[in-house]
Amino acid sequence: MTEPPLTAPPDRVVELRDVTKRYGDTVAALGGVSMTIDRGALVAIVGPSGSGKSTMLNVIGTLDRPSSGAVHIDGYDAARLSDRELSALRASRIGFVFQQFHLAAGVPLVENVADGLLYAGVARRERRRRAEVALRRVGLGHRLDHRPHQLSGGERQRAAIARAVVGEPPLLLADEPTGNLDSSSGAGVMELLHELHAAGTTVVVITHDREIAASLPRQVQMRDGLIVVDSAAPTEGVPR
């Protein structure tokens, strides 16, 4: 990616200013949201269905452009980037974990994870080496050649997390990461996210589960496309 100038302080991984997102003339999924997330934070964005939290994920992850307002990710102004540059930004700086595991059926786990580096210009042998390291990091070093159908739900989500962090992005976005898991497997996944955070990754968990949100240091509560409560306010939860 051609490096545009950094436009936000380097200690902030996410900065949103007056962000709106509209669909058509009547639906406002985001109604003017401002928020900063500092490097190394562990944050829950929580709210019921229709609250705007999934749209918030898409905007933070640069999967969707806002209708208005400013989005800065790891110091870059998303509005100044072309679609190609945004793809490169996601590949190098953002890891995604979804409720659905999105692992390729019939493909060994190590290759599934290595594919997370396909768009980063990494040679095949190096991709595999890094994938092995990432799988060991999430406790799946003994499952390198297993196929997804040979794994439990918790193991598949761990593999999805390994794929998300194989490129060592500064920001990890986890969308309902325990939604398809039993309580024991879900607890294991949340423990892993805490470990990744402790190792320096900024982790944002999007969830409707208030119990999960309450277990994280910062909770951003959304309703009707707005932030209604931010436990970090006023020092971190509002632009400075």
Task: Decide if 219 is inside a domain.
Answer: yes
Q: Using DSSP bridges, classify how beta strands 218-223 and 202-207 pair: parallel, antiparallel or unpaired.
A: unpaired
Task: Decide if 183 is inside a domain.
Answer: yes
Task: Decide if 77 is inside a domain.
Answer: no
pLDDT reported for residue 238: 42
Task: Decide if 23 is inside a domain.
Answer: no
Give the CATH number of the domain where residue 146 resides. 3.40.50.300
Sign of CA dihedral 102, 75, 169, 15: negative
- Where in the sequence is the domain holding 208, given as residue range(s)? 39-59+86-229
pLDDT reported for residue 28: 87
pLDDT reported for residue 8: 54
Task: Decide if 200 is inside a domain.
Answer: yes
Question: In total, how many domains does the chain have?
Answer: 1
Indicate whether this model's pTM tops 0.85: yes
pLDDT reported for residue 169: 93
Task: Decide if 193 is inside a domain.
Answer: yes
The ranges of the chain with pLDDT < 70 are: 1-10, 234-240
pLDDT reported for residue 9: 57
